[in-house]
Amino acid sequence: MNLRMTALLGLAIAGALMLIACDDSTPDPTEARASFCEELDNLESSLVVMSSLGPASSVDDAEAAYDQVKSDVDSVLDAAGDLPEAEALESAVDDINSELESLPDDATLQEASTSIQAAVSGASSARTAFESASAECSG
């Protein structure tokens, strides 16, 4: 290898190392915490909406509310990282889905309100436990 090729290779390696050193992709902890707390608030709101469905609400209404809950759970889990309580939160939301999938589309929630409300209550409790375990959103 001649001197010119060695110099070019050295410059290329130095450039790559500078790009790695200047990588600004590390999230700001304050922003990450704020995002996590915002996602938990969104989840709480969607669980409130789901728990407030009335006897005249349809299964389709409940499924739409569930879709929002599931989306919010996914966002919380993405923002939270690897907390052990994540599995309990996912399981509680899966319980809501199981209850909904067992109902015919034309059923009213009055016909299944007890089991669905119990599942939503379980998800709310799991959300609260998840927030407490994370100790990120106090105050």
Number of domains in the chain: 1
Is 4 within the bounds of a domain?
no
The tens-digit pLDDT sequence of the chain (139 residues) is: 555 544 444 444 544 445 444 555 555 667 777 788 888 889 889 988 888 888 778 778 888 998 999 999 889 888 876 666 777 888 888 888 888 888 776 776 677 677 778 888 888 888 888 777 666 676 5
The secondary structure of residue 58, as a DSSP letter, is B
What is the pTM for the complete model shown? Answer: 0.67
Query: Two tokens at 117?
Result: 């409300």
7 domain-assigned? no
What domain range includes position 66? 27-134
What is the C-alpha to C-alpha distance for residues 82 and 112, in angstroms, rounded to an integer? 34
Structure tokens belonging to residue 53: 């469905």
| Residue 7, both tokens | 């110099």
Determine, yes or no, domain membership for 17.
no
Q: Is residue 40 in some structural domain?
A: yes
- Considering the domain boundaries, does residue 31 fall inside one? yes
* Number of CB atoms found within 10 A of residue 67's CB: 13
Which amino acid is present at 111? E
